[in-house]
Amino acid sequence: MAALAVAATGIAEAQLKFEISGSGAVQIPIAIANFSLNASLPQDLSQVVRDDLARSGYFKTVDPGATPLSDTAVVNFGEWKGRGADAVVVGSASRLADGRLDVRFKLYDTGRQVDLGGLALTSTQANLRQSAHRIADYVYEKLTGDRGVFSTRIAYVLKQGAQRYQLQVADADGFNPQDALVSREPIISPAWSPDGSKIAYVSFEARKPVIYVHSVASGQRVPVANFKGSNSAPSWSPDGRQLAVTLTRDGNSQVYLINADGSSARRVTQSSGIDTEAVFSADGQSLYFTSDRGGGPQIYRTSVGGGDAQRVTFKGDYNISPRVSPDGKSLAYISRRGGRFQVYALDLASGQETPLTDSSKDESPSFAPNGKLIVYATELGGRGVLAMVSSDGRIKQRITTGQGGDVREPTWGPFLP
């Protein structure tokens, strides 16, 4: 097990600690050389890249030594191969005349002795970590074939004390948490829009659950579902034009579709039970949702046009909170087995299910946009914390924060342009 301690800054100051166990089926040994610098920088670029790749579970970082190497350096492939590195990253950062930073790097395959490319990035000092995440994304994709998610964001709800709820947005590694909303009343069910510009969530500030759509950049928000009764569980369509929501306007909790501006509410499910937590399929043509219509909570699927619903989960008597993988091939959900609430994955083609976690109070799974990781909330020492697990269950991470409070309901944002 490896432990990475990282400090988070922003409006809400925090200390986050990653505890990582397990690894991918194959770990790539890689050296991230210390970047050559001609400017004083607030963060160690190369260390951020190392930490990103180590957290993925698919890389084993090799000690690069103390000597900095710029992107223009002549790489001694035999030396790096002798250190055990199959790949090496070299880079530099220099200050431009306007005060911004010019960040450059190159990635090399030491075995084949070939240049695998690199990038030239222009960054402000405040966005330096984001540049490091982009470097890690580039390396991850080049060496694994899958797109990296280090430069994406997560959102979650932090409860501190009896009457302080914070909707926070942070980098995928937990750094730079920013308060999108602070309220004395509960905030639940945040969900990112497909373009990453907005978050839909439920707030109880009106003394009842109301769904809002919140602009991340401007902080402006509008209520989009404030019907009679309860308004809950928003989820975006893949094109961002609609939201699936749960309303009690006509009696029991049922699934409806509304336009993203709150107009044109249309009922989708028709049952005498409770239908809730609807999410769109990857192609936007179906909805997966939780229902107790069969006696206990199970996951069902129906067309966005309504009609008959087909049951999807059959093992266990309690399955809730479906989340569809980005490729549409699997579901992550919470299942209760033997009194333990754990994250499971279901292959939709074969019907085979796999337990992904070994904890007992998990909730709110959410896929990374590349489908390789799932963030969820769990409980540690009586307090809610964030955790991540790979979609095959091999890599597990637990994230604890030193600021106290309960962290709940995480949602992983999309790839950013």
pLDDT digits (tens, 9 = 90+) for 139-183: 999 999 999 999 999 999 999 988 899 999 999 988 889 999 999
CATH number of 153-412, picked from 2.120.10.30, 1.10.443.10, 1.20.1740.10, 2.40.110.10? 2.120.10.30
Q: State the pLDDT at residue 5.
A: 28
Cα gap 246→276, rounded to integer Å: 6
Q: Which residues does 319 contact at the CB level (< 8 Å), separation at least 6? A: 290, 297, 298, 299, 313, 333, 334, 335, 336, 344
Q: How confident is the model at residue 416 (pLDDT cuts 50, 70, 90)?
A: confident
Decide: 289 and 267 in contact? Cβ < 8 Å: no
Cα gap 316→335, rounded to integer Å: 7
**Are domains 27-144 and 153-412 of this chain identical in fold?**
no
Cα gap 69→92, rounded to integer Å: 8
Domain ranges of the chain: 27-144, 153-412
Q: Which residues does 19 contact at the CB level (< 8 Å), separation at least 6? A: 1, 3, 397, 398, 399, 400
Kindly report the average pLDDT of the chain as a whole number: 92
Asked whether residue 70 carries a pLDDT value surpassing 90, the answer given is: yes
What are the two backbone dihedrals, phi and then psi, of residue 269, each rounded to the nearest 5 degrees? -95, 150
Cα gap 104→46, rounded to integer Å: 12
DSSP strand pairing (28-32 vs 59-61): parallel
Decide: 372 and 400 in contact? Cβ < 8 Å: no
Cα gap 260→239, rounded to integer Å: 10
Region label for 117, one of left (φ > 0), alpha (ψ between -120 and 50) or beta (otherwise): left
CATH number of 27-144, picked from 3.30.70.3270, 3.90.1150.10, 3.40.50.10070, 3.30.2030.30? 3.40.50.10070
Q: State the pLDDT at residue 22.
A: 60
Asked whether residue 121 carries a pLDDT value surpassing 70, the answer given is: yes
Distances from the Cα of 258 to the Cα of 167, 241, 264, 273, 282, angstroms: 23, 9, 6, 21, 18
Decide: 333 and 324 in contact? Cβ < 8 Å: no
Q: How confident is the model at residue 10 (pLDDT cuts 50, 70, 90)?
A: very low
The token pair at 2 is: 């490896």
Question: Where do we find the tokens 């308060």?
Answer: 179
Question: Where do we find the tokens 């199959």?
Answer: 86
What digits encode the pLDDT tens for the residues 394-403? 999 887 665 6
The DSSP call for residue 130 is: H
Question: Which residues partner with 143 through β-bridges?
Answer: none
Count of H helices and E strands in the chain? 3, 32
Give the residue-averaged pLDDT of 182-207. 97
Q: State the pLDDT at residue 2.
A: 30
